Amino acid sequence: MTKSKTIYFCAGWFTDKQNKAYQDAMAAIKKNPTIDLENSYVPLQHQYKGLRVDEHPELLKDREWATATYNGDRVGVATSDMLLAVYIPEEEDIGMGVELGMAQAFGKYITVVIPDEYYGRSINLMSWGIADNFIKMSELADYDFNKPGFNFYAGAVY
């Protein structure tokens, strides 16, 4: 298997659950031989002027930073081969919803990764409907992104 697919790494980092899932997913994709992480788009690594909002919350009031960061992420979604969303059912993020919608509008393949301990819990109908594939976090390191396919989510929707 070769590292032939770039991803837009769509994941929250605003709560303890999201941060743990972010770190677990990042560790898994570093091991995945089909993901070209070096050339993928990881939003935290592309904040405008290198300023992270989690370290500088005052940026939330800065129009230049917000506009440039949004547009950088939009370009990241558009230029990546696919979108990988790290999803916590109880902690949905409207930003992730926008990124999922952009990815579908751009015709990108969308995989939603859910931590094993949350897999099967109800998720939002729109998130359920927009994804091409759902996998458990434990499957991420070995999933072959060179052979994308469709798969239903095991849980219910709301």
Catalytic residues: 99
Q: Token pair of 13, please?
A: 């980092």
Residue 41, CA distances (Å) to 8, 23, 57, 58, 145 in order: 5, 16, 22, 24, 16
For helices 63-79 and 94-105, the axis angle rounded to 10 degrees is 40
Record the tokens describing residue 145, joined without a space.
Answer: 């992104």
Non-local (6+) Cβ contacts of 45 within 8 A are: none
Phi and psi at 88, nearest 5°, equal -110, 115
CA dist., res. 136 & res. 64, Å (int): 37
